[in-house]
Amino acid sequence: MDFDTNCIFCKIANKVIPSTIIYEDEDVLAFLDVNPVTYGHTLVIPKKHYESFLSCPKDVLHKAFDLAQRIGQVQIKQLGAKGVNILTNCFEAAGQSIPHFHIHVIPRYEANDGFKLEMKELKNVNLPVLAAELKESLNK
Ligand code: DGP
């Protein structure tokens, strides 16, 4: 499906609803997040509808991440960001609220600037057992 009539990012990609676009070509689009967590928070999307990173074809992924890289570089050069977080949430359990693949490009200025990614250590994991399980599926 190229266009999902219920998808807000499909509507943005097709200019059915407005957004603040900073770059577009025939495959990908970058626009400012309407609820930015830091100054310059940008979203990169493919114009065609793919539910998430996990189902996006590799050539499109490549174009989207290439653009995300360029935007991150510009955020540092132009906005004076000191760092950048690249984030793509896959499915509701991971915080995805819009089911159209998108990459958050979040410029960072300091540790307490509005964005926080907390990684708490999960204790008591048997790493060799887990690795064996994952390797089996990966190498099938
Ligand atoms: P996620 O939670 O990863 O699905 O992020 C969705 C982001 O999309 C969230 O940061 C807010 C942003 N967003 C939602 N609706 C709109 C919109 O209509 N326009 C723009 N520019 N951004 C939107």
The domain limits of the chain are 8-138
**Average pLDDT score over residue span 112-129:** 94
The sheet with strand 28-32 has its strands ordered as 21-24, 28-32, 42-46, 103-108, 83-87
Pocket test for ligand 1, best of 29, 32, 34 (most atoms within 8 A of CB): 34
Predicted TM-score of the model (pTM): 0.97
pLDDT tier at 111, thresholds 50, 70, 90:
confident
Q: Give pLDDT tens digits for 16-58.
A: 999 999 999 999 999 999 999 999 999 999 999 999 999 999 9
List, by residue number, the catalytic residues. 102
What is the topology classification, in CATH, of domain 8-138? HIT family, subunit A (3.30.428)
Which distant-in-sequence residues (6+ apart) come within 8 Å of 72 by Cβ? Answer: 84, 86, 105, 107
34 Cα to the center of ligand 1, angstroms: 6
Render the burial of 39-72: b for 16+ CB within 10 Å, e for the rest: ebbbbbbbbbbbbbbeebeeebbebbbebbeebb
Q: Tell me, what's the pLDDT at 24?
A: 98
State yes or no: pLDDT of 1 exceeds 80: no
Q: Is 35 in the pocket of ligand 1 (CB under 6 A)?
A: yes
